[in-house]
Structure 1
Amino acid sequence: MVIEIALRACAVSALSVFLVSAILQVLKDPSRITLLLFLFTSLLDIGLVIFTRVARERDLTPISVVMSVTGTFYYVAFRMEPGIHLIPEAAAVGLQIVGIVIQIWAKLTLRRSFGLLPANRGVVVSGPYRVLRHPMYVGYTIRNVGFLLPNFGLQNVIVFGLHFFVQICRIVREERVLSKDRSYREYMSCVRYRLIVGVF
């Protein structure tokens, strides 16, 4: 329970830092809708983290804790100042909205089973989880690409590259915990792919 409280406190603290930086940038340039959308989904994530149910079984190994913290709070390492626009802001907003819709659909399906650490908070097999085992991570990736393309720069490329690598590691560790549950093993046999149908 101490770790749960500490992680939830970290979530609020990291979001507060990001919130202040993002608002300052948007006040300088109100056309940065991609930054506002990223902020909106970060607020949603933190709200879910604060109110999630305590897991029946969790992976509290140091590597899992580090990966969970890195994978969740990576946005504090963004370069907030405008970068190179590889695509117009409007096109990027459309891409982000696709990612956000996938995220929200997955989160509404999970409800209070959402969390930071690899854990078993109950097996969910409905909604987008009928197609892929980790649709929320698909949504994150699409949203991140939508943010990166009009805010392109070396720092943001490194942050997103690291985040994607960490998310793959988190998936593997999450499934290590969940596969101890027979119902999840049955689910894995029905839904073969994690992120991309036919690939992974």
Structure 2
Amino acid sequence: MRDFIGRAMMTLYFTVCATLKSGAMIVALRDPTWSWARGISVAADVAALGFLVLIVATTVARLPPVKTAQGIEPRLSALIGCFATVTLIAVPGVQTLPQLELVADLITIVGFTLCIWCLWWLGRSFSITAQARRLVTAGPYQLVRHPLYACEAVVLFGIVLRNPTWAVVAIGAIVICFQCRRIINEEKVLRSAFPEYDAYARATPILIPSISTLRELVFPGAR
């Protein structure tokens, strides 16, 4: 029952965020003036919307947890880290230098595209709080243990660059702190739930892929 209530609340929240992002896209598309910069900005919004929709889908269809982190801190860290990030996604961009907007939008597109890739592989194992559902070690998870957090950091950098206000910077710093706590909490749960996780962790970096791993990915079998 607790998992069902949590899933329903998450679904509602992400659906609202996706609706707000859709509304912002509609307003942008109705603007009669058009340019490459505006097209890239809309593409960034499309990528963000795709990520939010995929979060809703994976939240609805997720597997029951095998193990859940105990205590209030893991739950608070997960909720604050997640909600703060998604709230920033839904915030409309402010006017700044056109060159800065272009770079920020390109970074955001890359980040969200990578997030969608990670979430697609994570699939029904996705969760907000520190829970173990199924150990995923393929796709982006063969490069690093927490690729979704790494890609969300790329998105966060793009959002802060696009909205360089003190409030956005402060929220971004808070997000980073709580995302680090989420990683620590998830590591504990995964090690406890899956005996094979230790071997996986020894062979796979936590956030940044090794040069040898990237070389093997680009040039399979090369030495």
TM score, norm. by length of structure 2: 0.77
Give 1:45's match in structure 2, choosing from 55, 71, 79.
55
Which residue of 1 is the match for residue 21 of structure 2? Answer: 22
Task: Return 5+ residue gaps in structure 1 as ranges.
Answer: none
Q: Residue 94 and residue 122 in structure 1: after superposition, are their counterparts in 2 closer, same or farther (change >3 A)?
A: same
Deviation at 1:52, TM superposition (A): 0.7
Matches within 5 A, 1:101-140: 101-140=113-152
User: Runs of 4 or more off by more than 4 Å in structure 1?
Assistant: none
Distance 1:79 1:157 in 2: 15
Partners of 2:169 and 2:50 in 1: CA distance? 21
Q: Secondary structure at the match of 1:85?
A: coil
2:156 alignment counterpart: 144
Q: Report SS of the residue matched to 1:137.
A: helix
User: Residues 173-192 of structure 1 correspond to what in structure 2 (within 5 A)?
Assistant: 173-180=185-192, 181-191=194-204
| Aligned partners of 2:160 and 2:169 also within 8 Å | yes
Deviation of 1:50 after TM superposition, in Å, equals 1.6
The structure whose Rg is larger is: 2
Gaps of 5+ in 2: 30-37, 211-223
Q: Distance in 2 between matches of 1:147 and 1:160?
A: 9
CA distance in 2, matches of 1:16, 1:123: 27
Q: Are residues 1:66 and 2:79 paired?
A: no
| Number of residue pairs matched by the alignment | 196
Q: Deviations over 1:63-94 (max 9, x none)?
A: 11212222222233678343253644333232
Q: Which amino acid aligns with 1:11?
A: M
The answer to whether the 8 A contact 1:92-1:147 is kept is: yes
Say which is worse superposed, 81-90 or 68-77, in terms of deviation.
Answer: 81-90
1:175 CA drift (Å): 0.4
SS at match of 2:102: helix
Aligned residue number for residue 207 of structure 2: 195
Q: Distance in 2 between matches of 1:148 and 1:21?
A: 19
Note if contact 2:69-2:189 (Cα within 8 Å) is conserved in structure 1: yes
Query: Which stretch has the larger CA shift, 59-68 or 174-183?
Result: 59-68
Q: Which moved more, 1:127-136 or 1:60-69?
A: 60-69
State the Cα distance separating 1:8 from its structure 2 match: 1.6
**Mapping of 1:155-170 within 5 angstroms?**
155-170=167-182
**1:114-158 deviations in Å (ceiling 9; x for gaps):** 111212212222222222110111111112222221222122112
In the alignment, what sits opposite 1:4? 3
Equivalent AA in structure 1 for residue 69 of structure 2: D
Instruction: Name which of structure 1's ranges 22-31 and 58-67 shifts more when overlaid on structure 2.
Output: 22-31
**Quick check: 2:50–2:116 contact (8 Å CA) kept in 1?**
no
2:64 counterpart residue number:
54
Structure (1/2) with the larger helix percentage: 2
In 2, Cα distance between equivalents of 1:101 and 1:22: 16
2:94 match = 83
CA gap 1:139/1:36 in 2 versus in 1, 3 angstroms: same
| SS of equivalent to 1:178 | helix
